[in-house]
Structure 1
Amino acid sequence: IPSVFLNVNNMYDWATVALIRAGGTFYFRGMWFGGAHGIITIDPSKLEYMLKTRFNNFPKGQHYRERFHDLLGNGIFNADDQMWKEQRRVATTEMHSSQFVEHSFLSMQVLVHEKLLKLMDDVVNSKNSVIDLQEVLLRFTFDNICTAALGVDPECLALDLPQIPFAKAFEEATELTLFRFMVPPFVWKPMKRFEMGYEKRLKESVQIVHEFAEKAVTERRNELVRLGGLNDRSDLLSRLMEYTDQNPEGQGTQKRFSNKFLVDFCISFILAGRDTSSVALAWFFWLVQKTPEVENKILKEMNEILGQRRQCSTIKEPADHDAIFTVEELKNMVYLQAALSESLRLYPAVPIDIKEVVEDDVFPDGTVMKKGGRVLYSMFSMARIESIWGQDCSEFRPERWIKDGVFASENQFKYPVFNGGPRLCVGKKFAYTQMKMVAAAILLRYEVKVVEGHNVVPKLTTTLYMQNGLLVTLKPRLLTSTV
């Protein structure tokens, strides 16, 4: 335990070295995560056993649910068993519907080209061309996920970058909840009861988040009653209010979800979609600007796609710097997807995850787990293990994701950044579309360079933020020089 605190500012690298020395797995007991006991591992076979083979015996667990309950309630991100299965089924149905897919793509396009790029143009044209790209990307993904989930745009991307109470409260609530994992219950529970210290701030933040979501649900419910339907709306909240259960014969039954269910569901959806994509994009831009050969290959791929568009079009196309890529064009960006996947491998948005053991169990290699124990697995460390990824595991090499010119997915237990097994991320396709659209739009138009001397290091939180943000300069790109 003392070594944990001695290395708290270098936790991810320290854990990686410790796991390598231990052969990939070690037991822990004591103060970690409030007096827990269990194992920390990077073994893909253990992940498969836990996330798939014995899925029901390794849920998120009471330890996790209790700490996140104030913010997430019983939402899908904080649920297990039947409650999770029901929400998973509903989420899969609605998020994969053509109506939601089209709505989310079009609203994403509008947000990128009418707000994100305008903000960047404004920065380029100002005297100070330095921005914190991580903050801008967080604002973008927050607006985007709220539009997709609630049909409400919080306007975080306004040119003056205003402080939005809901967005600020959401960020504070997620960060403050982390303290509950770092101290034992006999510390944080009295603090909660008597509204002391960070627990008082957590309560205030959670209240703002819930009031915003409850207002959106109430207004949409009133709109449904007033209009008799929400056919003109395709956001997730509206679709859930008109959700129809299909029986095996194809007959539908209207299902009415409670306001509490809808609030919890949407808050979980926002949490899952806000931080992960923005943080992934921030690390992507940092890695790409450090690796010119990768950047040139991405630009070459985009220019080839634009060239094909010009050859096939019978009408005059806009200038390349004004290009808006279609769904199919984004799908054809194989190298860009490889670069994003490689960035996520090295810097997973969720660096460490945790499961709880329901009943005594034994992993295939003989590792014994006792009821109530916890299994922590480090995606950050897995990326740096030669036996998993080869001798070049620490290198940023998108080519490892391409075989015969086609993107080649990896085993989900070797690459669990989108979870694995029955909990495989239902929004994976949404996330890739969002990341590719943003990355392509920015790289096509700007040269992004990190400010000299800016220290980029990961922050010790539930999401792999950059501790000091990502300060960059933007310079309009001369497209002819990239072909």
Structure 2
Amino acid sequence: METLPFLLTLAAATSVYLLWFYLLARKLTGPKVWPVVGSLPLLFVNRRRFHDWIAANLRATGGAGTYQTCTIPLPFLARKQGFYTVTCHPKNMEHILRTKFDNYPKGPEWQAAFHDLLGQGIFNSDGETWLIQRKTAALEFTTRTLRQAMARWVNQTIKNRLWNILDKAVTAKHSVDLQELLLRLTFDNICGLTFGKDPETLSPEMPENPFAIAFDTATEATLQRFLYPGILWRVQKLLGIGAERRLKKSLEVVEKYMDDAIAARKENPSDDLLSRFMKKRDVEGNHFPISVLQRIALNFVLAGRDTSSVALSWFFWLVMNHPEVEAKIVKEISAILTETRGNDRQKWLDEPLVFDEADKLVYLKAALAETLRLYPSVPQDFKYVVENDVLPDGTRVPAGSTITYSIYSVGRMKSIWGEDCMEFKPERWLSPEEDRFEPPKDGYKFVAFNAGPRTCLGKDLAYLQMKSVASAVLLRYRLSLVPGHRVEQKMSLTLFMKNGLHVFLHPRTLA
């Protein structure tokens, strides 16, 4: 007899829950949701093509470019922890990144997940902590000395290392993993620029560097924290197992390396970013402590390594598939070098382009921007909603929920970029005369370098580094993909190629 009341109570509770779920689900506009598990099954099924899945969901909205979904359809949680607003609508992104900037910080979950690696560095902080670092960094990034320092690092890395490795591959008729080489090149450059210490990971021997390995391990373990429920990584950290154990050990190596770099800079200050920050003071007028300096430097290394190398990898792949674009790039480089170095082809090849020469490469910049439109290095970003708000397109976002803006999807929306949005077309970035680089009038159609107060400070330097490397490779070699090699996206916060970019190099004959 006691079973009947229990079953009736269970049936009543189930009915109430299903009614509540129905009322919730009818307001959601994204992928299908199920009771209890929400949209998690579809997210799991599409985990290996996550960015394309989001883009398809956004295209399915027509021109709206926004949908809402729920991963925890349970009372009291559904409208906060489990609620996601996904958008690629330029007006919404402007609202999030500029107009209501203070209402959309990184948020507690993001900061908790990245705290051990990035601390309160510029990419993992909000409010006053972020602002003081932003102002300090902004002053440094506008100085000519920083540009000159970057130019020196890029030039010597190309001339003394990259060209040697590529020339040996040509002679031996061996393929190279261009993505791996570019990662090493940008890593050496950003380490040199940030704390004046060259890890020399790019060399013919392709040595393993303890700092680079530990840094990679730490970033991968940190990413896992963000992809899975917070309770999982917190339990692993408490027990000292799994990815958390690897994170702890790798951070010990990273911190030791950083301590040595800081000690060296105290004895012998230079023009690197670390030396500059060591001279600065925080909001209370004190010098930054060593622990904070470590995290400031690591934030810049994280931002400066992966983004440029990943963008260049996709650029070279696209150029290989569009020979007409490649021909225009080589023609433009040749024209600039004729002006600056004369007609002697050997002089063109003796030294990499200096930044003043790279500055003049308009079409190449357009090709790089077009690459980032289709394959942004950071394909999506997340923001926490502090207070209830209404986006410009009328979407209501509840406090405590998350907004994801898909940079990857923006470039794939016909309503934003036109019917030819999937075509690789550098000309869309040029003036009608094709003599000037012209970004879109609506700056929030293109946020590969972020936008608003958090716009990437190193944007101009990143373009110069990418143009220098791209011209150094394309002027000397034609590239061809290794037969059978599959170029696929790796599902991570940065749009790596899953299997690298394996290519053969062929000496280029300049007309």
- TM beyond 0.5: yes
1:142-181 equivalences in 2 (<5 Å)? 142-181=187-226
Match of 2:33 in 1: none
Match of 1:20 in 2: 59
SS of the aligned residue for 2:312 comes to helix
SS of the aligned residue for 2:443 comes to coil
SS of the aligned residue for 2:247 comes to helix
SS of the aligned residue for 1:168 comes to helix
Q: Say yes or no: does 1:337 pair with 2:365.
A: yes
Match of 1:409 in 2: 439
Match of 1:348 in 2: 376
Match of 2:260 in 1: 215
Counterpart CA distance in 2 for 1:158 and 1:322 is 19
Alpha-carbon shift at residue 467 of structure 1 (Å) = 0.7
- State the 4+ residue runs in structure 1 displaced beyond 4 angstroms: 31-35
Counterpart CA distance in 2 for 1:152 and 1:293 is 40
Give the letter for the 1:16 counterpart: A
Change (3 A) 1:255 1:402: farther
Q: Say yes or no: does 1:363 pair with 2:400.
A: no
Alpha-carbon shift at residue 244 of structure 1 (Å) = 7.7
Alpha-carbon shift at residue 35 of structure 1 (Å) = 4.8
Alpha-carbon shift at residue 309 of structure 1 (Å) = 2.2
Q: What is the aligned counterpart of 2:120 among 74, 81, 95?
A: 74
Unaligned runs of 5+ in 1: 225-229, 246-252
Query: Highest Rg: 1 or 2?
Result: 2
Change (3 A) 1:115 1:388: same
Change (3 A) 1:254 1:101: farther
Give the letter for the 1:320 counterpart: W
Asked whether the 8 Å contact 2:199–2:209 carries over to 1, the reply is yes
Alignment deviations for residues 281-316 of structure 1 (CA, whole Å, 9 cap, x no partner): 0000000010000000000001111222245x9xx8
Q: Say yes or no: does 1:268 pair with 2:299.
A: yes
Counterpart CA distance in 2 for 1:121 and 1:81 is 49
Counterpart CA distance in 2 for 1:412 and 1:123 is 41
Asked whether the 8 Å contact 2:81–2:402 carries over to 1, the reply is no
Alignment deviations for residues 302-357 of structure 1 (CA, whole Å, 9 cap, x no partner): 1111222245x9xx884322243222211110000000000011000001100001
Asked whether the 8 Å contact 1:218–1:259 carries over to 2, the reply is no
Give the letter for the 2:70 counterpart: R
Give the letter for the 1:327 counterpart: F
Asked whether the 8 Å contact 2:382–2:402 carries over to 1, the reply is yes
Q: What is the aligned counterpart of 1:376 among 401, 404, 419?
A: 404
Q: What is the aligned counterpart of 1:98 among 135, 139, 144?
A: 144
SS of the aligned residue for 1:458 comes to coil
Q: What is the aligned counterpart of 1:464 among 487, 495, 511?
A: 495
Asked whether the 8 Å contact 1:35–1:184 carries over to 2, the reply is no
Q: What's the Cα RMSD here?
A: 2.1
1:288-367 equivalences in 2 (<5 Å)? 288-311=319-342, 318-367=346-395
Q: Say yes or no: does 1:110 pair with 2:149.
A: no
Counterpart CA distance in 2 for 1:346 and 1:16 is 12
Asked whether the 8 Å contact 2:83–2:401 carries over to 1, the reply is yes
SS of the aligned residue for 2:453 comes to helix
Alpha-carbon shift at residue 203 of structure 1 (Å) = 1.5
Counterpart CA distance in 2 for 1:317 and 1:133 is 25
Match of 1:438 in 2: 469
Counterpart CA distance in 2 for 1:424 and 1:211 is 31
Q: Say yes or no: does 1:278 pair with 2:309.
A: yes
> What count of residue pairs does the alignment treat as equivalent?
462
Counterpart CA distance in 2 for 1:333 and 1:379 is 25
Identity of aligned residues (%): 44
Alpha-carbon shift at residue 235 of structure 1 (Å) = 0.8
Give the letter for the 1:140 counterpart: L
SS of the aligned residue for 1:413 comes to helix
Counterpart CA distance in 2 for 1:265 and 1:292 is 41
Alignment deviations for residues 252-306 of structure 1 (CA, whole Å, 9 cap, x no partner): x996222122111100000000000000000000000100000000000011112
Asked whether the 8 Å contact 1:242–1:254 carries over to 2, the reply is no
Match of 2:456 in 1: 425
Give the letter for the 2:455 counterpart: L
TM-score between the two structures when normalised by the length of structure 1: 0.92
Deviates more, 1:92-101 or 1:23-32: 23-32
Match of 1:248 in 2: none
SS of the aligned residue for 2:150 comes to helix
Deviates more, 1:184-193 or 1:137-146: 184-193
TM-score between the two structures when normalised by the length of structure 2: 0.87
Give the letter for the 2:56 counterpart: V
Alignment deviations for residues 1-37 of structure 1 (CA, whole Å, 9 cap, x no partner): 2111112222222211111113311112125999531
Give the letter for the 2:55 counterpart: T
Counterpart CA distance in 2 for 1:337 and 1:262 is 33
Counterpart CA distance in 2 for 1:440 and 1:244 is 40
